[in-house]
Amino acid sequence: SLHKKNGQPYYSWEQQADNTWQRVPLDQADNRLLGVIEGEDHFTFYYDVTLPEIEGSAELWLPLASSNDYQTVERLTLEAPGEQQLLTDPDYGNEILHVQLGPAHSHTTIHIAYDVVRQEKAPYTAPEPNLTPYLASTHLLPTGGRFAQLAQEALEGRDATTPLMQARALYDYIIDNMRYAKQGTYGTGDADFACDSKSGNCTEFHSLFISMARSIDLPARFAIGAAIPSERNEGGVNGYHCWAEFYAEGKWWPIDISEGNKYTALATYYFGHHPANRIELSRGRNLQVSPGPVSGIPFFAYPILEVNGLARDVKTTFSFERHIES
């Protein structure tokens, strides 16, 4: 049966005492059943990358989670084959595992386990940061032109006299006009694709926002990681998730437009909040490291594998166990 329309679920799920699951109408579901843990969350996050058949020399780049003001990360396990080194990208400070591989490493799995304590994020003060990188036009996040025109369309008829009000107008416009759909060349975070298709996943939602925001001189930035299920305490995690922040009134404001689109009741919450149940794996787009990938694939949180200089797919799986305080 159809459970979602345009990425919006018809109901939520609640686990019963006997470990079976029961449907809950959205208007009867609390925030936890809608994906939000407030305050603090504590969990172990397992990250597995399975390599394909390798014929010849190969290199892998894999961003590693690190601590910041809103998450404390302890790396419990890092099991990887090959010759390893840790790199740091100079623009955002992400730590990246670089591995030299060969045919003997075919079909092996890199296993990483993190202990994570994560805090819910609300608007936070950051006086006079260097905002230049967050206003720049890039290959995947162009500014001006149709993005400026689209931003002006979003502001038309709105009382948007301050940067904060302008950001809310862009946020609402994207929720009203974008459709959550995994079709076409989605998932690359290409603002041009998002503008053309008016669809995509979280990367397209936030890339479009960033291009529109920067086009009206509103600094905005990108991060990617994973959203940890809130309605259960262990099991699989449904892949990557990304989000954004914009700068206004001396603060960085966290937003999550695709989740606001998914759960209408939480659209206001996600303008100014990120819940505690997530892990950040990397910040920024088009990460630059040396040695770095040569295949031209935009590099942010996803692992990049190159075999003889050509990009190859890897299988990535996530799972978690939540720490329940007695």
pLDDT over 90, % of the chain: 71
Mean pLDDT, range 127-139, rounded to an integer: 90
Strand partners, 84: 99
Mean pLDDT, range 169-198, rounded to an integer: 88
pLDDT for the residue numbered 53: 96
> Shortest CA distance to 71 belongs to which of 213, 236, 228, 190?
228
N-to-C CA span, the chain: 39
> For 68-120, how does the pLDDT look when each residue is reduced to its tens digit (9 = 90+)?
999 999 999 999 999 999 999 998 999 999 999 999 999 999 999 999 999 99
pLDDT for the residue numbered 307: 94
Residue 209, pLDDT > 50, answer: yes
3-state secondary structure 13-69: EEECCCCCEEEEEHHHCCHHHHCCCCCEEEEEEEEEEECCCCCCCEEEEEEECCCEC
pLDDT for the residue numbered 15: 80
Residue 1, pLDDT > 60, answer: no
Residue 46, pLDDT > 80, answer: yes
191 — phi, psi (to 5°)? -65, -30
pLDDT for the residue numbered 93: 92
> For 221-237, how does the pLDDT look when each residue is reduced to its tens digit (9 = 90+)?
999 999 999 999 999 99
Query: Greater confidence, 267 or 16?
Result: 267
Locate tokens 């996530």: which residue?
318
Query: Greater confidence, 26 or 42?
Result: 42
Residue 137, pLDDT > 70, answer: yes
pLDDT over 70, % of the chain: 96
Residue 323, pLDDT > 80, answer: yes
Locate tokens 């990009």: which residue?
311
> Shortest CA distance to 139 belongs to which of 286, 272, 274, 35?
286
- How many other C-beta atoms lie within 10 A of the C-beta of residue 90? 11
**Can you give the C-alpha Rg of the chain in angstroms?**
20
Burial of 213 from C-beta contacts in 10 A (0-12 / 13-18 / 19+): buried
> For 279-304, how does the pLDDT look when each residue is reduced to its tens digit (9 = 90+)?
999 999 888 899 988 887 666 778 99
Residue 314, pLDDT > 90, answer: yes
pLDDT band at 7 (very low <50, low <70, confident <90, very high): low
User: b/e for 259-274, b at 16 or more Cβ within 10 A?
Assistant: bbbbbeebbebbbbbb
Torsion angle defined by CA atoms of residues 266, 271, 277 and 282, in that order, rounded to the nearest 10 degrees = 140
Contact 226, 241 (CB under 8 A): yes
pLDDT for the residue numbered 6: 62
Mean pLDDT, range 107-135, rounded to an integer: 94
Return the axis-axis angle of helices 202-215 and 163-177, rounded to nearest 10°. 140
Q: How far apart (Å, rounded) are the C-alpha atoms in residues 181 and 291?
A: 35
